[in-house]
Amino acid sequence: MKKIIVVGSINVVLIVFQFILISLISTDGEKVWQATKERTRIESENQILKQEIYSKSALQSITARAEELSLEPIKTEFWKGPVVAQANQ
């Protein structure tokens, strides 16, 4: 009779322990699913931002923006090197 009570008690404890473990595993699974969902959202946002960077850094876009702001290209003058005196022989 005592063996039945001991075995029954062990079974109850094991069932409770199993229930706790299953609850923890399912909670971790939910966290993993949420993290995966968040990662997917961030990756799509990154892709959109990359496309914006590419389009805004394109030369056509920069030229159009410069024209909107009435900017003109810088005029540079190239100087010739100094004239060096040469000895005539």
End-to-end CA distance of the chain: 131
Averaged pLDDT for residues 47-63: 88
Non-local (6+) Cβ contacts of 56 within 8 A are: 62
Dist CA 43 CA 33 (whole Å): 15
Q: What pLDDT shows up at residue 76?
A: 72
- pTM greater than 0.75: no
pLDDT in tens, 13-45: 999 999 888 887 877 778 888 999 999 999 999
Tell whether the model's pLDDT for residue 10 goes beyond 70.
Answer: yes
